[in-house]
Amino acid sequence: MNNQAQQNIENLLQQANIVINGSRPWDIQVFDERFFSKVIAKGTLGLGEAYMDAWWDCPRVDEFIYRSLANRLKEKIRVGHQELWLFLRSCIINLQSHTRAFMVGKTHYDINAILYEHMLDRRMTYTCGYWKSAVDLEQAQQDKLDLVCRKINLQPGDRVLDIGCGWGSFAQYAAQNYGANVVGITISQEQAMRARQRCAGLPVEIRLQDYRDLDEKFDHIVSLGMFEHVGYKNYRTFMTIARTCLHDSGLFLLHTIGSNESAIATDPWIEKYIFPNGLLPSIAQIGSALEGNFIIEDWHNFGADYDRTLMAWHGNFSAHWGDLQNYFDERFHRMWSYYLLACAGSFRARQTQLWQIVLSKYGVPGGYTSLR
């Protein structure tokens, strides 16, 4: 069985010019022959788990994933039981329901914050940076925050809702640099606590709250990297609530990772180890949810910038592993590295996108001026 599995994997990888035990940075080194049958049986879930177990390695995991995706190798592996189960479960259950909303907060964002302190920029901005003019992560994240403020034409005294406020980077920036009054909501206790500390003394209120519990008006709304947790069964509910909360003349900026194709279930490895109940929206799914709620004023794709952002995060994570290993074990080290590098490879292959969408309720009089 293993010989046949190995031959199948070797033939598959050859289509992407990847050699097992080769000498190039994207060639993988296999240390345990169980790797082959596990990948055949479990697909991307098996590939990631085998990496966590150190059954294989690669000098440039990001390049290995990039070449695999760019050559569409994933399409040539049969769907495993785990993928089928995730699909069926997503059909039957609302995985992002009100009662399940806080699960990803506990699993992903409430782990020891020292990880994010060492990995992210000084504001702890956990979304894609904007690298148009930036030379490092700090500048890329500041430029992104400023771009958001300029896109919604933020003015002193404006009351802004930040849905999925993270550790408070946008709220802090908008209050300090634009004189805004910000209400930020998050489903992570750790994020809420640290965001309150970060924004102390500023006109910022941070709440531990689900978006479905909102019922008040704001001049503008932003949501940066939260829509990936909403789920396809709730997209329209999300947009309807945002419309209800937005003043008639206000703007809503949605910043989200996007999928090239509509799906109702995510990658099984990402689902199991990184973002439980996560799902990337497609253009069609977003468009359907917007219909009757918002007018699209601007749609900006800078997905290639997420590759650079993720590689910067991985660089920080690796550089500080000496400190982080006091809190996390080696299997976590491999899991987190694989997460960052695999995602970078996906953006590099343009399999995933990053969209900033500017929305209005009735259209901007005279038209909206796009900013880049």
The residues annotated as belonging to the active site are: 343
**Which residues, in sequence order, are CB contacts of 229 under 8 Å at separation 6+?**
96, 104, 164, 187, 275, 277, 278, 279
In this structure, the chain runs to a length of 372
**Which residues, in sequence order, are CB contacts of 267 under 8 Å at separation 6+?**
44, 45
How far apart are the C-alpha atoms of 8 and 13, rounded to whole Å? 9
Helix 169-178, helix 189-198: angle, nearest 10: 20
How far apart are the C-alpha atoms of 130 and 356, rounded to whole Å? 11
CA distances from residue 163 to 51, 208, 246, 250, 306 in whole angstroms, order as listed: 34, 11, 12, 15, 21
Give the H or E element holding residue 141. helix 137-151
Is the separation of the CB atoms in 310 and 344 below 8 Å? yes
Is the separation of the CB atoms in 211 and 238 below 8 Å? yes
CA distances from residue 285 to 73, 231, 241 in whole angstroms, order as listed: 25, 10, 17
Is the separation of the CB atoms in 334 and 52 below 8 Å? yes
How far apart are the C-alpha atoms of 278 and 164, rounded to whole Å? 14
Ramachandran class of 41: left when φ > 0, alpha when ψ lies in -120 to 50, beta otherwise:
alpha
How far apart are the C-alpha atoms of 178 and 171, rounded to whole Å? 10
Neighbours of 11 (CB within 10 A): 10
Angle at 97 between CA 96 and CA 102, to 5 degrees: 70
Is the separation of the CB atoms in 252 and 281 below 8 Å? no
- Using CA of residue 284, residue 344, residue 348, residue 143, what is the dihedral sign? positive
